[in-house]
Amino acid sequence: MSDWIDEEVDNIGRKQAELEDQAERQRALGQQSAGLWQELVRGVEAAVNKINSTQEILNRLGDKLYYEGGRVDTFKIVKGNFPAVYLTVTTFGRYFQVERKIVTNGQSRTTKDERERIELDLDSNGRIYMKTEQGETLHVQDAVKYLLKPLLNY
């Protein structure tokens, strides 16, 4: 007769455990996101420096990439010659916002704006990783390539 009461108590316990798991997951994500951001910034800056010191790539680009990283939460990369690309990446703690502005040259100059979110999540071992809107899983070196390689192809 009181089986339904026992079931309700079990349901309450399960829901409470789920809430506690979610809170722990969010706390772990918050703690790891700052370190991931710093690794990404260092990786992007190092890759831009390597690109700028590699003659074959500079020959294709026509000019160096410009890295601007003076802010804690944002970095920018500019490919100045046409088609010009302005890449801005900003951290919002639980995700990274990526904005690309592509400007073509000539009489029919066009501007194309692209925006995407790279979500942050934890794997089954509690380690942080990034995930694109297309569902691609990225670790730091993958993300550096994901962000910079398109600039080499414009």
For residue range 2-11, list pLDDT tens digits in order.
788 888 888 8
For residue range 96-125, list pLDDT tens digits in order.
999 999 998 767 778 899 999 999 999 888
* Mean predicted confidence (pLDDT) in 82-90: 93
First-to-last C-alpha distance (Å) of the chain: 72
Most confident of 4-8, 21-25, 64-68: 64-68
Partners of residue 96 on adjacent β-strands: 91, 118
Domain residue spans of the chain: 3-152
Q: What is the pLDDT of residue 26?
A: 77
The 3-state secondary structure of the chain, one letter per residue: CCHHHHHHHHHHHHHHHHHHHHHHHHHHHHHHHHHHHHHHHHHHHHHHHHHHCCHHHHHHHCCCEEEECCCCCEEEEEECCCCEEEEEEEECCCEEEEEEEEECCCCCCCEEEEEEEEEEEECCCCCEEEECCCCCEECHHHHHHHHHHHHHCC
Residue 60 pLDDT exceeds 70: yes
Q: What is the pLDDT of residue 106?
A: 65
The single residue listed with the structure tokens 């831009």 is: 48
Residue 76 pLDDT exceeds 90: yes
| pLDDT > 90 fraction of the chain, expressed in percent and rounded | 56
